[in-house]
Amino acid sequence: MQSRLLMLNAEAVAAVLQPDDVLAAVQRAFVLHSERQGRVFPVIREKLATGGVFGIKAGDVPAEGLLGFKAAGFWPSNRQLGGEPHQATVMLVDPATGRPVCIIDGNAITTARTGAAGAIGLQQLARTDSRRLCVFGTGVQARVQVDYALRVLPQVDALCYVSVDRQRDEGFERLFAGRLPAACAADADSAVASSDVIITATPGGGPLFAADALKPGAHVNCVGADTKGKRELPDGLLARARLVVDDLAQSRQLGESQWAPATPCVEIGDLLTGKARLARAPDDITVFDLTGLALQDLTVARLIYEKARDGGLGIEVHWPW
């Protein structure tokens, strides 16, 4: 018996990946998670002797015939080879037979779905009068986070960024030159103190600013803590904040909650479905901790697979039983 395996490289993924579609797919993932229709399996995340970090995130949605995983990680030495440190591959599997259905370059999926998740957090938590945005980092994830943020917060009219060396990144500035001015901040605490929305999109090497730098009413999206030992927030901040997470267990295992596991929180999916409510007072500080759900990868991968299949993209391989 023969089956067919569709293989989609980065070029094929880019041809069908649209921000509005990704936002809808990621929101669907959060809703499925809240309604317990989608399962998230235990995460594998291990350091390697090569200096990299390798992980697997897997899950399924039985009622929708969706099953699969993402094998991904971070290899910092790739920069010396002229490559991207983040590497990811997604596989969709037929839940009835276990046969692989589609193998997809996962780098763009990871980037886009994380940007979309951040945007959904901003829609739910940031004050509607937020005007000043501060981002830590200038890499791929920082760029997509800002891009998606500007899609859902069109009133933002000032962007500052904190680079690792506090030096200007002209390439980063050019990306947003036609939308709003971007300025490099010399001091992290001052940048945070003057901002309404703060996005941390770094490798998670340690606290990025002082806990008391945040002004009342500010919101923080935390992206970089996705492994034991990583963090971006300072001690004491979560105690001052209203905390929302994508997944409670993952946040306590891999995210910012690992440093304060007793912090009360709600899951973003429960806000979307109405299972939980967060009445935000004007002076409340809110934090959204993004650790990344397998369901996000799978709903976006399914979207890509269906569009690529219908559009005749990719390479089909005969895959004997």
Q: How many CB atoms lie within 10 A of CB 99?
A: 14
Whole-angstrom distance, CA of residue 304 vs CA of residue 17: 7
For residue 130, pLDDT over 70 is answered with yes
pLDDT per residue as tens digits for the range 144-185: 999 999 999 999 999 999 999 999 999 999 999 989 999 999
Whole-number Cα distances in Å, 125 to 75, 271, 281? 33, 10, 11
Q: pTM for this one?
A: 0.94
Average pLDDT value for residue range 296-305: 98
Using only C-alpha atoms, what is the Rg of the chain?
19
CATH of domain 118-292: 3.40.50.720
Whole-angstrom distance, CA of residue 244 vs CA of residue 248: 9
For residue 2, pLDDT over 70 is answered with no
For residue 1, pLDDT over 80 is answered with no
For residue 279, what pLDDT is reported?
Answer: 86
Kindly report the CATH class assigned to 2-109+295-320: alpha beta
For residue 15, what pLDDT is reported?
Answer: 95
What percentage of residues in the chain have a pLDDT greater than 90? Answer: 94
- Split at pLDDT 50, 70, 90, the class of 108 is very high
For residue 272, what pLDDT is reported?
Answer: 98
pLDDT per residue as tens digits for the range 254-288: 999 999 999 999 999 999 999 999 988 999 999 99
pLDDT per residue as tens digits for the range 192-243: 999 999 999 999 999 999 999 999 999 999 999 988 999 999 999 999 999 9
For residue 178, what pLDDT is reported?
Answer: 87
The token duo for 133 is 């945005």
Ranges of beta strands (E only) in the chain are 2-8, 39-40, 44-47, 53-61, 66-74, 86-93, 100-105, 132-136, 158-162, 182-184, 197-200, 219-222, 241-245, 265-267, 285-289, 315-320
Average pLDDT over the chain, rounded to an integer: 95
- Split at pLDDT 50, 70, 90, the class of 187 is very high
- For the chain, the domains span 2-109+295-320, 118-292
Task: Report DSSP state, residue 215.
Answer: P
For residue 321, what pLDDT is reported?
Answer: 79
For residue 191, pLDDT over 90 is answered with yes
- Split at pLDDT 50, 70, 90, the class of 320 is confident
